[in-house]
Structure formats: structure tokens, C-alpha cells
Structure 1
Amino acid sequence: MTKRVLKTSLALAISAASLQSLAGGFAINEQSVSNMGTAYAGRSSSADDASTVFGNPAGMARLKREQVSGGVSLIYAQTEIDNASGSFAGSNDGDMVPFIGAPMAYYVKPLDDNWSFGLGLYVPFGLVTDYESDFQGRYYGDRSEVRVITLQPTLSYRFNEQLSIGFGPTINRIDGELTSAIKNPLPGAADGKVKIKGDDTALGYNLGVLFEVTPQTRFGLTYHSKVDYRLKGDTQVSGPGFVIGSSAGTYDASLELTTPESVDFSVTHALDANWNLYAGSSWTRWSRLEEIRAENRGVGGLLAGSLSSIAEPQNWHDTWAHALGLAYALNPQWTLRAGVAVDQSPTNNADRSPRIPTGDRNIFSLGAAWSPNADMTIDLAYSYLKEDDTQIDHVSASKGAYSATYKNTAHGLGAQVTYRF
């Protein structure tokens, strides 16, 4: 096993730890089921329930009663891999994303006519990908599991009937585990494996402004800050391809990572007593992710002194997402929702990895809210996501060539209960 082979494999595995949590095509978007029904159009201006703690903390000023909202969104992703070819044999089943869930919980309490307090717990990023053991592109990615969980205490202040602001610090916990196969250069010898594990807790904030132009129309603007992480964990190198005196073992690993800031702007307009129109756009500064730089300490054997710093280019670009939605109050108990959205991918053709084979996507959503009484609302929503076909095309001296076309779709189903005291 050469230094170059293992060094590149470790770099890619560590890079994927942040790529999975940041990927535009796989970032968790489900922090509110009531917003999910309109494809998240109006997320920063609707302020319909306690989930506005995330959507726009200024929206808490519109909630006149103490309330809790909680729910879960289930995500089922499907991938077809076509036209695959490479230097080594293997399968391309494409069933690498298991069924996952994203929970959420919020609490809002008006303190007086001006001040409100809120608390939110949600999942902004997360993904599990687990290819089959003989996946043809296994040297570029095998298993990935990354989660970010956020706790957000929040305050809002209402200046007058038109203007409100809100602010909340975010406490963010990230953890992940990545594995990659390592090609053994000896003919017929079994592959090795590298596993990266790490975690960190870091602070950010969520800031929002809500302006009610008229009783029928309001604008919302929300800023989610960047978050600086320094993941610490270990690198485990193992497998039949490693012998005594080589680099098999466990080593300290660290990775500095900054998740990008985003800005969400939306408008909510009541067309009449029954119809509400929503429109919104969000911008995310993915261009912060120019490269991933990782450090390993205590590496011995063949890798001694060769992994003090590893850098892998990513060259992501800033993205926009746009959405339109409608809600219709069928009667005092039922509200029906629908929405469409388009969302750009931050990846590029040259650097796209099998770990994040995401492309530009279109989203179609339906939702319904049932209020059996004035104290309770049950929200249900369904979303269908379809991405543009994307191309993976890599050539490496240590891992060979692998190219394929990925066709990604996903189904989301959410349920949320809001109770008012």
C-alpha cells in the first residue's frame, strides 16, 4: 500500500463528512410540515404556528397564545444508476439511501403585548448513504452518515402593528461516520478500509424581520448565520491489505468546516377570506466551500509525516431556490395547500462525487390542515422531488476510473400537531 493511495482515500473520506451535511440536493429542508405543504413558499412570512421559530423568529409576535408544535418528516429517496463504467468490476444497484426521518419540536409563549419567547429543536442537515459492498465506485465513496441537530432559544419584539423582529442563538451538534474502500495494489488481494468518525458543537444564530404592509400582506426576511465547526475524532485504517509495520491503526483526526449563511425572503398575501398566496426566494452562500482541509496526528508506519495536512478542492457555488404556494380555507376546520419550487445544486460536474450525486431539482407539494377545535391543528404534507440527471466522471491513479449517470427522486411525508393553551 503506497502513501499516495491511502492519503488520497483518507482525504476523500474526510471531505465527504462535510459534503454530506452540506449538499444542496440532500440538505434537510423539513423543519415545518405546515410550510412543507406549500413547498416552503412563504416560510419567512406565514407565521402560522410555533415552527416560525425556525422560519422567521419575528413571526412569534403574531402568535397570541402559548403553543407547542411537534412532528416528523419521513424521506424516501430513490436513485437509478445508468451507463456505469469503470476500471474495476462491481454492481450499481443505486439503493444507497435508507428511509430516514427528521423530527422537529417548537414552543412559543407570548410574554406580554410586545415580547415573545420561543424554543426550537430541529434537524437542518442530515443524510445516510450506504452503497452495496461491491459497488463499482466504492473507492470514491462507500458509507456516509452525518447529522446536525440544532437547539434554538429565541426572543421576538413587536414595535407596532406593522414591524416585528426576532433573534435566536443556535446551538448546533454535528456528528458523522464515513467509510471508503481502499484499492489494494497487489493483484487479487482484498481491499482495505478507512473509517472516519468525528463530532463537534458550535454556535450560530437566526435573525428575522416581519413587516405587515396591510392586514392582507406581509413580508418576511430571515438570516441563518454561518456556523464554524472543528470536528474531532479518529481515523481507523484496517483490512487484509495492511500488514504489521504499515499504517493500520487508529489516529486522531480533525477537520475545520464552516457551513454557509443563507437568506430567505418571502411574502404572504390574502387574496380574499379563503385564499392565501405565498411566494419566496432563498439564497445560500455555498461558495464558502472551496476546499476541505483535514489534519491527522500520530500517523505511523508508511504514512508517518505524510498526512499533517490534506486538502481537497470542491469549488461549490452559491445557489438560489424559488417557490410559489397557495392555501385554501375550505371551511373553519380544513385548509388545503399546494406549492412548487425549484432549487439549484451547489455542485459542479468536475468535482461531483458518488457520495453527493445531486443536481438541480424541482419540488411539488400538497398539504392539509385539520383544526377540530380552536386549540388543536393537525398538519399533513407530501412532497415529490425530482432532480436533473447528473453525471459522475472521475479518473484517479490510485482508484481507477468511474463514470455513471445518476437519476434521483425523493418522496417526503410529514405530520405535525400544534396545540394552543
Structure 2
Amino acid sequence: MRINKVAFAITTLLAASQVHASGFQINEHSASGLGRAFAGEAAIGDDAASLARNPALMATFDRAQLSVVGSYVAPDVNITGHNDNNSASDVAPAAVVPAMYYIQPINDEWAFGLAMYSNFGTGTEYADDYVNNAAAGTTHIVTATFNPNISYRINEQFSIGAGVSAIYSTAELKRSIHLSPGLPQMQAAEMEGDGINFSWNVGALYEVNENNRFGISYKHSSKMELEGTYSGRYPGAILPVNDIDGTMENTLPAILELSGYHKLTNQFAVSYSWQYTTWSDFGDIIAYDLNGVEVLKKEENFSNSSRYSIGTEYYATENLTLRVGYAYDEQAAESTLSIPDSDRQWYTAGMTYKATQSLSFDMGAAFIAGKEITFDEDIPLGGTKTFSSKGDAWIYSAQMNYSF
């Protein structure tokens, strides 16, 4: 019997895409951050969207604020086969990545905030007749985070914050076998499921003065436990099975971020960040039936990765801020047809326009250049084949901030 999807208030925040960060990490949390390549995100705190990176930044707000963000990711990922008829183009679909944040100061020391966003999501979709669908096919892994936080200002320089997260996860994997030219492909495996897991996060902010500050934040790893159904080939069965109950478990990695912000003149500031993600925690994608029998396995060789970013801001007028940024994103996974990962470079620009004392708008854009990479993959019933992948992306983001 097919499992019903969990009725969860933030399922509308789900977006399945290859969003061009290491592994399948999502950094598109704000338009203001995108403009500076998300440099200094744990230290700046210029709008409520900063809650996605460091809860201690809430201590810098003296008014309640709501931020609503929408980002459009347009990837261009292509696979070149070094053997005949093994190439595929445009395998990662475009997607919208929404987010929403609210910060409410309680008094001079305490503040409360709520963040709804995603930290992880990936998707690749190959054509139904692609010859290597036994290893490619369709792959979607998506999460949405519901994250209440609280902060406390210890003194004028030092603030701390913490939060808990309910993380809704959903995954879908489809594989088929190409038996002979001219014949339709036969389904080999299909697994889909969802679940809710929990995690926590902490952060701290040190303000040397109003022009110089440093931030640190940490999001703890969390176990992703999915329940759903499996159809396809089954150990010990002569014929394929349909819609048997199954489970899949993986660990979503921890994320550590260190940031700095320095306003060097009245009109110019620089920011920087180092982000470290423990991708080695993730492991392989393995599905089991309710008796513990392995029904599907996809090896994913992940290793821990770093992201380095630097950004600048130019305060052109009281109402207009301009931004540019650069980031280098290390490859986290050995490239495969389902997750064609590589090192990436981000080139970004953006702006903030302050319409009134209470209302402001942000816009940001980024071009992400992926490194071309060559890899070998074992294709079931097809042997070992060699591929090259190249992926670029454009990201466009808009944001509205309103202070109450």
C-alpha cells in the first residue's frame, strides 16, 4: 500500500533541483546574501534572512522584521559519454527555492525568530530512453526546515543564539534497464518516501564595534529516516514486485561557518566566510523492506568539503547598497550520473533598495561555473563506462523585508 505524504505546513517550500553547491547543499537563503556570494553571512545580520545562518544575529535587531525570499535556479548540466550513444543534455531541471524568516525582539536582551527554508536538495532527470538509466534515471532528494530560534545578548559585544529544527525530507529514485534498441526500457527499481527528523543549531556573535564583527554558527547533523514504497526487482523473487513497504536512512551533514564583516569607510565594507560541511556522514543510498532485506543500493562516495567566499558592499546612498562577491565551492562527492558534482566558482552581484524606513527590497544574481570532470561508472548490465560532466548555472533572487 502506497504511503500517504506527511501533511506538513512547510511542504510548499520544497524545491527539487541540482542547485550547484557542493554535494546537494542549498545556499540560496537570501537575495542580500547572494549578492555578496554569501560572504559574512554569520556576522552581518542586515535583514531577517540572516536567521538561516546564525541565530545570535537576532540580538542586533531592535524592531520586528519579516523577510520573504524567492530564488530561481536555472542549471545547465550536460553529460558526454566517451562511448557511442551515452551522452545526455540538460539533465538538471530548473526550480524555484522559496524561504521566509521572522525576527521578534522581546526586550533588550532576548529575541525570538522563526526560519523556514531548505539546506539540501538535488534532482537529476534523464530522458526515458537514455541508455544508462540503470544508473541514471530520476533522482530527487529534498529537505525543508522549520526552525524556531532564540537569542540572548550577554553584553554590548557578545551575543549567543540557539534553535531546533524539524526537517521534512522526501526522496525519489527511479531506475530502468535498456534491454535492446527499439524496445521500451524495463523498470528495474522505484523507491519513494518521506519522513520528519530533528536537529539543533547554535551560534555566537562578537561585535568589536559597530563596524567590525565576527560570527560563528553550527548546524548539527541529523538522521534522515524515510518511509515509503519500493517497486522493482526483489532478492529471491522471480518477477518484479510492486509497492512493498520500505525504508531508507541517511545522515544529513553538519555545517560549520565562520564569518567576518568590516566596514572600512562610510561607504565601503568587506565580508568573508569559511563554511565546512561534513559530507562523509551521508553514506550510500540504501533502501530496505520492512524485514531488513536490501532492495536498492546506490553508492555515493562523499567527503567533507569547504566553501570560501569574499564579498564587498558599497553604500552608494542612504537608500541604495550595491554588492559583488566571489566564492569557491569544493567538490564533495565523487561525480556520478545521478549527482554530477564538481568544484564550482561563484560570481555574484546584487543590491538593496530601501523604499521607506520600514520596507526594503533586495535583488541578486549569480553565475556559477562548474569544473568539467571525467569519471567512470559501473552501469548494471552495461559494464564500466567513462563520462565527462560539465555544469553551469544562473541564479536570480528577489527579497522583500518589512520592519514592524
* Structure 1 residue 340 corresponds to structure 2 residue 326: yes
Please state how far the C-alpha of 1:84 moved relative to its aligned partner: 3.3
Deviation at 1:292, TM superposition (A): 3.7
Whole-angstrom CA distance in 2 between matches of 1:153 and 1:167: 9
- Give, in whole Å, the separation in 1 of the partners of 2:142 and 2:370: 22
Deviation at 1:22, TM superposition (A): 11
| Distance in 1 separating the partners of 2:74 and 2:361 | 22
The residue type equivalent to 1:317 in the other structure is S
Change (3 A) 1:80 1:311: closer
1:311 is displaced (CA, Å) by: 5.5
Q: 1:274 to 1:280 in 2, by over 3 A?
A: same
**1:3-402 paired onto structure 2 within 5 Å:** 24-85=22-83, 89=85, 92-184=87-179, 190-193=184-187, 194-237=189-232, 246-297=239-290, 307-308=293-294, 313-348=299-334, 352-396=335-379, 398-402=381-385
Give the conservation status (yes or no) of the 8 Å contact 1:158–1:165.
yes
Label 1:407 to 1:256 Cα distance change in 2 as closer, same or farther (>3 A).
same
Structure with bigger helix share is: 1
Q: What is the CA–CA distance in structure 2 between the aligned matches of 1:261 and 1:100, rounded to whole Å?
A: 25
Query: Which residue number corresponds to residue 393 of structure 2?
Result: 410
CA RMSD after TM alignment: 2.4
Instruction: Give the distance between the partners of 1:149 and 1:211, measured in 2 at CA.
Output: 29
Q: Percent identity?
A: 28
1:188 CA drift (Å): 7.2
* AA partner of residue 277 (structure 1): V
Tell me the alpha carbon deviations over residues 156-214 of structure 1, each in whole angstroms, 9 at most, x when there is no partner.
00011100001110110001222111244x89764311211011101011211000112
Matched position secondary structure for 1:61: helix
Question: Shift of the alpha carbon at 1:19?
Answer: 12
Shift, 1:353, TM fit: 1.4
Q: Secondary structure at the match of 1:138?
A: coil
Matched AA of 2:232: V
The whole-number CA distance in structure 2 between the counterparts of 1:22 and 1:195 is: 25
TM-score by length of 1: 0.86
> Does the CA-based 8 Å contact 1:107-1:118 persist in structure 2?
yes
Cα distance change on mapping 1:316 and 1:159 into 2, 3 Å:
same
Counterpart residue type for residue 186 of structure 2: G
Q: Distance in 1 between matches of 2:248 and 2:20?
A: 14
The one-character-per-residue Cα deviations of 1:95-144 (angstroms, maximum 9, x if unpaired) are 12222011010001110000001001012112332111222322211112
Cα–Cα, structure 1 residues 397 and 337, in superposed 2: closer, same or farther, change >3 Å? closer
User: Structure 1 residues 339, 71: CA separation in 2 closer, same or farther (over 3 Å shift)?
Assistant: same
Q: Which runs of 4+ in 1 moved over 6 A?
A: 18-23
The structure whose Rg is larger is 1
Total equivalences in the alignment:
385
CA shift, 1:396, in A, is: 4.4
8 Å CA contact 1:341–1:362 kept in 2: the answer is yes
How many Å separate the matches in 1 of 2:121 and 2:299? 22
Distance in 2 (alpha carbons) for counterparts of 1:204 and 1:211: 25
1:20–1:339 CA distance, 2 compared to 1 (3 A): closer
Cα distance in 2, alignment partners of residues 259 and 63 from structure 1: 31
Change (3 A) 1:313 1:197: closer
Q: CA 1:413–1:171 in structure 2 vs 1: closer, same or farther (change >3 Å)?
A: same
Contact kept? 2:371, 2:390, Cα under 8 Å: yes
TM-score between both structures, scaled by the size of structure 2: 0.89
